[in-house]
Amino acid sequence: MLNFFSGGESHGKALVGILEGFPKGVKISLEFINRELQRRQAGFGRGKRMAIEKDEVEVLSGLRAGVTLGSPIAFLVRNKDAYIEPFLKDNLPPLAIPRPAHADLLGALKYQEKDIRNILERASARETAIRVVAGSFCKQLLSEFKIEVLSHIVGLGKIILPKGAVSLAEIRRKTKDSLLNCIDKEKEREMVEEIKKAQNKGDTLGGIVEIVCEGLPFGLGSFMSWRERLDARLSYALMSIPAVKGVETGLGFDYARLRGSQAHDEIFYSKNRGFYYKTNNSGGIAGGISTSQPIVIRIAMKPIATLKEPLSSVDLITHRKKKAPSIRSDVTAVVACGVIAEAMTAFIIAQALLEKFPSDTLSSLKKAYGFYLKTLKG
């Protein structure tokens, strides 16, 4: 089964990933992966660390001359700002003040730890660089089947775009020179204003990202067991992104307000298209299975947890009231969150694709996929 595993501390030597179960024979662009890593570091509102780290992947196994071998793909993303040594003593002072809304306190209690550094180094969202690399491999596999995933920002602070279908072509075109990966120039200007205002107050912002995936066939995912449902698996993968607090597919929470007659996508047929829908309220998934419509998911990100004007906390050792430390100074990272969400979406879709079709080699996968597409016209 397609899967990936990761290790790495935020200021350790490197982040490390292993992507297992990837088929043989897929041509991989190194530039594409590095571009994805850079997209993760971009977006208006990011702070200093992003200037220090220009992430680049170093692939160590699983490819030869740019083509996958079918073997596990192992890779590194080195930390330029690295000071945690596996075997040497550093002289870093222990961190004793947990930052609210982080894992700091929770990890310290769970692991009976007095130096919060030993918690936050792994709990840090820096880990998501590995997800972006894994996802960028999956995107390149999916592109062989003309399946593509993109995200765009539909909310930042209180500036929120109205819901509405957007195609990938539209997203690509309209976000071209966007500071915030937003398809609406006017709203983007307001978002930038919001960020500046928050920055001035030493405050932070969250937002809402929409992920769109086009090109899926009918039939990925399954209702045979709860674990196999495609929306459940996407929800798992997306809610696992640090700071994500909500996930909805299609109409999502708005579904609750509508009657069945208003909400459900009716079924149509034409000789050319086979079965199809005219609406996509379901967001491309029903009964845990892809409907061949675009997958549309929205996720909510909470504001960055570390504030320049810090919140109230307590010293782990002395139990005295203290201001939380202010380690980094991003105001918002919603654009990055979108890139990570694309990666996790691509990973889950690729996994579902490789479950339904033979996965040893790209050529056998393509053969079976092509044959399946023919059966769909029925």
Smallest distance, a second copy to C-beta of residue 115, A: 9
User: Exposed (0-12), middle (13-18) or buried (19+): which is 140, by Cβ within 10 Å?
Assistant: buried
Q: Is 316 in the site for a second copy (CB under 8 A)?
A: yes
The residue type of 268 is F
Structure tokens at 50: 């992003």
Q: Which of 51, 89, 162, 272 forms a contact with a second copy (CB under 8 A)?
A: 89
Smallest distance, a second copy to C-beta of residue 8, A: 5
Alpha carbon distances (Å) from 367 to 276, 371, 373: 24, 6, 10
Smallest distance, a second copy to C-beta of residue 173, A: 25
| DSSP 8-class letter at 306 | -
Smallest distance, a second copy to C-beta of residue 15, A: 7
Backbone angles phi, psi at 213, to 5 degrees: -130, 120
The residue type of 193 is E
Q: Is 327 in the site for a second copy (CB under 8 A)?
A: no
Q: Considering only the stretches 7-15, 39-47, 139-147, 163-171, report the one whose residues sit in contact with a second copy under the rule CB under 8 A.
A: 7-15
Task: Note whether 88 and 73 are within 8 A (CB).
Answer: no
Under rule CB under 8 A, which residues in 157-176 are in contact with a second copy?
157-158, 160
Q: Which of 32, 38, 53, 70 forms a contact with a second copy (CB under 8 A)?
A: 70
Q: Is 206 in the site for a second copy (CB under 8 A)?
A: yes
Smallest distance, a second copy to C-beta of residue 362, A: 10
Under rule CB under 8 A, which residues in 347-366 are in contact with a second copy?
356-358, 360-361, 363-364
Smallest distance, a second copy to C-beta of residue 307, A: 5
Structure tokens at 362: 């790209």
For residue 5, which of 17, 21, 22 has the smallest C-alpha distance? Answer: 17
Q: Is 249 in the site for a second copy (CB under 8 A)?
A: yes
Under rule CB under 8 A, which residues in 253-282 are in contact with a second copy?
253-261, 263-269, 275, 282
> Helix or strand or coil: residue 26?
strand
Under rule CB under 8 A, which residues in 16-55 are in contact with a second copy?
16, 18, 20-21, 24, 28, 30
For residue 79, which of 63, 58, 99 has the smallest C-alpha distance? Answer: 58
Q: Which of 43, 45, 47, 242 forms a contact with a second copy (CB under 8 A)?
A: 242
* Count of residues engaged in binding a second copy, rule: CB under 8 A: 156
For residues 62, 37, 327 and 203, what is the CA-based torsion angle, rounded to 10 degrees? -150
Q: Is 151 in the site for a second copy (CB under 8 A)?
A: no
Give me the helix-helix angle, 362-376 and 334-356, nearest 10°.
Answer: 80
Q: Would you say how long the chain is, in residues?
A: 378
- Taking the least distance from each CB to a second copy, the nearer of 15 and 177 is 15
Under rule CB under 8 A, which residues in 124-143 are in contact with a second copy?
131
Smallest distance, a second copy to C-beta of residue 133, A: 13
Task: Note whether 133 and 345 are within 8 A (CB).
Answer: no
For residue 347, which of 157, 153, 73, 121 has the smallest C-alpha distance? Answer: 73
Smallest distance, a second copy to C-beta of residue 169, A: 25
